[in-house]
A = this chain, B = another copy of it.
């Protein structure tokens, strides 16, 4: 079967919400997609007849096995394009998402498999998220929030979930950017603030608020 851009965006959004909570509600999805709840209900009815979601009125919904497979295909496309944009076209990591949001809907299977080969079968996108392979197999996400990192382990910054300018200002001031290697030296239990050390720099402190927004992975 073939799906519209809209249907694909819904499937992908449901997939992401399911990671947190296996059954998804109308309002959560409406918020994520910037749509009204009534629109969600309309689409859920449609996706139910297409056997993409399990859905019982007032009871929430989740992807069927088939729906899950399709969602993984869309995520594969999204992340491969993000990798392409960042690696080949030299976009910065914060610019790639919006463009990939459109490119992901060009759904030629052959295109994506050839793109994958051209890129050398990358396993993670520029935000550190795993890229499903051509069968839809996906590795466990190796990221965790900076606030969860154990003491004295070197980690690499790979995603920042807030791109407001106040946040960017703070990051710039502390010299944190994508790929920065750092260690957590101390956790203050009073406010969960962290003392951070970047190689060859004086240590500094970040609030728990900030640390929750920064994702890192264990370095190679």
The chain A residues found within 8 Å of chain B, CB to CB, are 85, 88-91, 95, 98-99, 102-103, 106, 108, 110-111, 114-115, 118
The interface residues of chain B lying within 8 Å CB-to-CB of A108 are: 98-99, 102
Contact between A99 and B85, CB atoms less than 8 A apart = no
The listed residue (B88, B91, B99) touching A106 by CB distance below 8 A is B99
Q: Which of B89, B114, B115 contacts A111 (CB 8 A)?
A: B89
Beta-carbon contact of B115 and A89 below 8 Å: yes
User: How many copies of the shown chain assemble into the complex?
Assistant: 2
- Complex Cα distance A110/B98, Å? 12
With both beta carbons as reference points, the residue of chain B lying nearest to A96 in the complex is identified as: B111
Known interface pairs A99-B108, A106-B103; A118-B88 also in contact (CB < 8 Å): yes
Tell me the minimal C-beta distance from A34 to chain B in angstroms. 17
Some 7 contacts from A to B, beta carbons below 8 A apart, are: A88-B118, A91-B110, A99-B108, A99-B111, A102-B108, A103-B103, A103-B106
Q: Give me 15 other A-B pairs in contact (C-beta within 8 A), A88-B118, A89-B115, A99-B111 excluded.
A: A85-B111, A89-B111, A89-B114, A89-B118, A90-B114, A91-B110, A91-B114, A95-B110, A98-B108, A99-B106, A99-B108, A102-B106, A102-B108, A103-B103, A103-B106
Q: How far is the CA of A47 from the CA of B91 in the complex (A)?
A: 34
Q: Which residue of B lies closest to A88 (CB)?
A: B118
